[in-house]
Structure 1
Amino acid sequence: MMKHEEIYRATLAKWGEQAQYDQAVEECAELIAALKHFRREKIDAAAVISELADVTLMIGQLTYMFGPDEVEKAVAVKLSKLHNLLET
């Protein structure tokens, strides 16, 4: 089985960066719609989980594209801000 990075590299080689940006936007939109439907009890949790899995894969792809170290640093900053908010 291919590792995530190998799959991300192959995806970029096959479809290119622009297509991956568009795909990420599409998957996020589908998750948004699924969450709204879930709140109204039109779909079950499994449907939300499926969309969440798609978004998770796209976040992995985007992280690979923009640089895992840079993303990790940004996440650390955001977590620190969140922690500070929780303490106030």
Structure 2
Amino acid sequence: MNNADLTEIYRATLAKWGEEAQYDQMVEECAELIAGLKHFKRDRVGAEAIINELADVTLMVGQLTWMFGPDRVEAAITAKLEKLRALLAAPEAR
């Protein structure tokens, strides 16, 4: 799916359900992923369940990224990656 298709879906979703519902949906999808991961660790669900929850969260991340501004989110990601690189390069503390 290309960016134009995703943008159209994001616009339609926001028009149909509104901002507050999208925030609530993200919280719900994250909670389902968290619960799924706990079940996966205890061998109560398989990888496919986690993959499905990851897909839901990924779609909501796209929606919220679009809502808050892709440039702003990308800048934050860049800053976080720079911090992570610095942490990985630092010598281990003993």
Normalised by the size of structure 1, how large is the TM-score? 0.97
Which consecutive unaligned segments of at least 5 residues does structure 1 have? none
Task: Give the fraction of aligned pairs with identical amino acids, expressed as a percent.
Answer: 69
Aligned to 2:73: 71
SS at match of 1:3: helix
Unaligned runs of 5+ in 2: none
Candidates 44, 47, 53, aligned match of 2:46: 44
Matched with 2:23 is: 21
Matched, 1:10 2:12: yes
Report the TM-score when normalising by structure 2: 0.91
Larger radius of gyration: 2
User: Partners of 2:17 and 2:25 in 1: how far apart?
Assistant: 10
Q: Cα RMSD over matched residues?
A: 1.1
Q: Distance in 1 between matches of 2:86 and 2:8?
A: 37
